Structure 1
Amino acid sequence: MRVFMASRNIQWTRRRGIAVEMTAVAGKSNTVIWTIAFRPLFLAASLWSALALALWVFVLIEGLTLPSRFAPMDWHVHEMLFGFISAAIAGFLLTAIPNWTGRAPIRGQPLIGLVLLWIAGRIACFTSASLPVWLGVAIDSVFLLALCLVVAREILLAGNRRNLIMPVPIAVLLVANVLTHLEALGVGVPAGIGRRLGISAVIFLMSVIAGRIIPAFTRNWLSVRKAKKLPAPAGRFDLLAIASLALGLLGWVFFPVSAVSGAILLAAAVLNAWRLARWRGLATASEPLLAILHVGYLWIVIGAGLLGASIVGTHVPGPAAIHALTAGAMGTMVLAVMSRVSLGHTGRTLHADVITTTAYASITLATLTRIAAACLPSHYLPLITLSGVLWIASFLIFAVYYGPMLVSPRIDALR
């Protein structure tokens, strides 16, 4: 009975979403973007990802400073993690939660308010040197606080116990954001703890969500093609893989040079590699829209392994490991999910064409060249510049190609 009611609620939510967009078509077309969260937040995430990185590369090459309390490198890290990634996470969660709960999506003025809070945070971080200390921190923190409360409220009102974990990584990301501000202000917090905690929170959230969507999408795709071997169902092994990754990352946050933390991360890499192999990713090679999700999770495996190796005393540079997790796992997974959600929720075919595949190739090359820059310090500047250009290209492709979809009604709402 519960399964039946959940199915009815999801169908109701989807029908209502189309009805809202049909109403927007009948009224002002510019209201379409505010009917569901992925539309404005994915567009904002992609544009800011490209713009913020372009600005940082320019500042790096020219040796300039910013009107921010953050040093240029710290501002770059902060805006990629707490600006770009937070917008992408918000867009995904606020779009997925109605399907999980059967409740209507956040839209209209509440959604506009959330986006304005996010924009205010970006402005506050960039101009924080001219703002009162408390004001800059408060403005930049309120978006994550609001997102955490909205996510918690929607899940609690629906009695959706399975997803009660979802507000927790957002709350941790909020704490991590405050810690990065405190470090920039010279407050005595452990060096780098904010960024380590933020990276760990995002990777943990991605590992949980990936375990739901990647094998499910793969199973559906393979079933249509009458494949005999399907992804293994989730079980205790998946919990062990996620727990080991969480434990290793937590150890890295608080004990970043501990050999025990490094060993746990190496073990987590092995467990999560096996977890990924159970999802039958190689069988999806003919559909880049699906295969790229497996590639994104592969970067989590590689990043955990490189991070563990860098801690236990091998010759792996720490920045190479960190960028495997950030540029690799986060960048790839965000681009993969944004493109898939944008196609599916605008009524289009779930297929990656040449343009979308080019964006995937660009983000992959951007990650590889960024890791190479960390490993080849004598070629750092040209490699970091090339990586930046490739990264910017990947997200500009998304913004230019998918932007019109995000601001237009669903195709099936127009029929």
Structure 2
Amino acid sequence: MSDRRTYTGPALLSAGFRPFFLLASLFGATAIALWLAVWDGALSITSVFAPVDWHVHEMIFGYGAAVVAGFLFTAVPNWTGRLPTRGWPLATLALVWIAGRLAVAGLLGLGPVAALVVDQLFLLLVGAMIAREIVAGRNWRNLKVLIPVTLFWVANIAFHVEALRTGVALTGHRAGIAILIFLIMLIGGRILPSFTRNWLVKAGHADRPVPFGRFDGFAIFTGVAALVFWVGAASGLTAALVMLMAAALHVARLLRWRGWLTWRSPLLLMLHVAYAFIPAGFTVAALSAVGAATPAATAHVLAIGAVASMTVAVMIRATLGHTGRPLEAGPFLTAAFAALVIATGLRVAAEVMPGLHGAFVNMAGTLWVAAYLGLSGGLIVPVVMPKPDARRPSGG
């Protein structure tokens, strides 16, 4: 007997990815557009954080949390076989996320402690709702997903506390990025070889990616060690060597997945390109540990290159797949992803060439905004409209 009852509400609230991917893409464009205006001195904000911390926090715990929620509220029903969270509970959760953005921006007139309480509520509810579904579905093996979600919630609280106590949240922002990188290493290591294998089989290639195994576990473990060193702002040769080892292992991981064979599928190639920013970030972190690169360069390779580009690629693929559309990015969404990759290079170039810092930051930010406007334009129809087959009359 199926527990899948007919849903008659708005399509936008029929699955977790719909509201949260749309909110994330719109927020990604809006927040950076506002940040560029703040950075150029054309706008001031009344955030409970210092301007830089507001920018950093909202990209990690605003944008990042929305994408994580959209992904998990879509994946968990597939794991448990239960009804997805939809309708008014999903709408309420989206409103809690929006309240967090307003509170942090200082638009609700709350002090730092009250803003913390409002902002942390979103990830707390996400974790609680996922736990309820997994336990109700007796899907015990996926309970482990609550660990990074809980750590992300704790990191958000720690960010607020650190900013309140010291005026700047350096450790908190690195911890937030590190948790998102861990999720990419873990989940990306499952979906990339699987998607690539399916495409290669369909395309008639004899070569196949190596499936997840002990090597991947060791690569993730080493990556976590490198991230711990980075979050702790470790410097010196030992930290650099661990980071370089992690970089080498994740390059090997990419090579085992045969991503270069997918060049005819931009949507699939995006995932491999995005993952490549993880070893690139570890390499820059190693250079930073010995004083050969700036900490900001590492943060932006990991945050823009790995986190932003991977989440964009996943949002595109998941939205197209779950709304019954062909898995083809097309020139519009491909250009949006490419703009994000170029923005990463420009933002790192700003650290390498201080004389052109301002120009490169503005160019990178402009490309970011263009990328997310393009993403929003490409996703809005699929997420607000029902699946194409859902609109056809029965028997038609």
Same fold (TM over 0.5): yes
Task: Give runs of aligned pairs for residues 272-351 of structure 1, distance below 5 A.
Answer: 272-311=250-289, 313-351=290-328
How much does 1:48 deviate?
0.6
Cα distance in structure 1, aligned partners of 2:218 and 2:156: 28
Structure 1, unmatched stretches of 5+, are 1-8, 25-30
What does the per-residue CA deviation read over 1:340-397, in whole Å, with 9 as the maximum and x for residues that have no partner?
0111111100011111111111111111111111211111111111101100111111
Equivalent of 1:125 in 104, 107, 130: 104
Partner of 2:60: 81
SS in structure 1 at match of 2:342:
helix
The answer to whether 1:136 aligns with 2:115 is yes
How much does 1:178 deviate?
1.2
Does the aligned pair in 1 maintain the 2:160–2:169 contact within 8 Å?
Answer: no
How much does 1:316 deviate?
1.8
Partner of 2:127: 148
Partner of 1:393: 370
Cα distance in structure 1, aligned partners of 2:256 and 2:19: 35
What does the per-residue CA deviation read over 1:185-236, in whole Å, with 9 as the maximum and x for residues that have no partner?
1259x96111111111110011111011111000000011121111011110
Amino acid at match of 2:230: W
Identity of paired residues, percent?
42
How much does 1:128 deviate?
7.0
Aligned length: 392
The answer to whether 1:203 aligns with 2:181 is yes
Does the aligned pair in 2 maintain the 1:69–1:129 contact within 8 Å?
Answer: no
SS in structure 2 at match of 1:165:
helix
Change (3 A) 1:129 1:352: closer
How much does 1:297 deviate?
0.5
Does the aligned pair in 2 maintain the 1:266–1:309 contact within 8 Å?
Answer: no
Cα distance in structure 1, aligned partners of 2:217 and 2:82: 28
How much does 1:72 deviate?
1.1
Does the aligned pair in 2 maintain the 1:67–1:129 contact within 8 Å?
Answer: no
Does the aligned pair in 1 maintain the 2:73–2:84 contact within 8 Å?
Answer: yes
How much does 1:260 deviate?
2.8
Does the aligned pair in 2 maintain the 1:173–1:198 contact within 8 Å?
Answer: yes
Partner of 2:157: 178
Cα distance in structure 2, aligned partners of 1:384 and 1:142: 33
The answer to whether 1:371 aligns with 2:351 is no
Cα distance in structure 2, aligned partners of 1:325 and 1:98: 30
Amino acid at match of 2:106: T
Amino acid at match of 2:115: G
The answer to whether 1:53 aligns with 2:32 is yes
Does the aligned pair in 1 maintain the 2:53–2:169 contact within 8 Å?
Answer: no
Task: Give runs of aligned pairs for residues 24-35 of structure 1, distance below 5 A.
Answer: 24=9, 31-35=10-14
> CA-atom RMSD, angstroms?
1.8
Does the aligned pair in 2 maintain the 1:37–1:111 contact within 8 Å?
Answer: yes
- Choose 133-142 or 254-263, whichever is displaced more: 254-263
Change (3 A) 1:64 1:355: closer
How much does 1:65 deviate?
3.3
What does the per-residue CA deviation read over 1:99-145, in whole Å, with 9 as the maximum and x for residues that have no partner?
12211111111111110110000000000794233211100100011
SS in structure 2 at match of 1:350:
coil
Does the aligned pair in 2 maintain the 1:370–1:383 contact within 8 Å?
Answer: yes
Change (3 A) 1:129 1:119: closer
How much does 1:299 deviate?
0.6
The answer to whether 1:253 aligns with 2:219 is no
Cα distance in structure 2, aligned partners of 1:191 and 1:256: 16
Amino acid at match of 2:244: L
How much does 1:255 deviate?
4.7
Task: Give runs of aligned pairs for residues 11-50 of structure 1, distance below 5 A.
Answer: 16=4, 19-20=6-7, 23-24=8-9, 31-50=10-29
Cα distance in structure 1, aligned partners of 2:124 and 2:138: 21
Equivalent of 1:353 in 322, 325, 330: 330
Tell me the TM-score normalized by structure 2. 0.95
Partner of 2:385: 408
Structure 2, unmatched stretches of 5+, are none
Cα distance in structure 2, aligned partners of 1:64 and 1:393: 20
Partner of 2:148: 169
SS in structure 2 at match of 1:162:
helix
Partner of 1:3: none
Does the aligned pair in 2 maintain the 1:48–1:84 contact within 8 Å?
Answer: yes
- Shift >3 Å, 4+ stretches: none
Amino acid at match of 2:132: R
SS in structure 2 at match of 1:316:
coil
Cα distance in structure 2, aligned partners of 1:71 and 1:358: 33
Cα distance in structure 2, aligned partners of 1:73 and 1:133: 16
Tell me the TM-score normalized by structure 1. 0.91
What does the per-residue CA deviation read over 1:4-52, in whole Å, with 9 as the maximum and x for residues that have no partner?
xxxxx9xx68xx48x43xx34xxxxxx1111101100000000111100
Does the aligned pair in 1 maintain the 2:120–2:157 contact within 8 Å?
Answer: yes
Equivalent of 1:193 in 171, 184, 205: 171
What does the per-residue CA deviation read over 1:261-286, in whole Å, with 9 as the maximum and x for residues that have no partner?
33212111111110111011000011
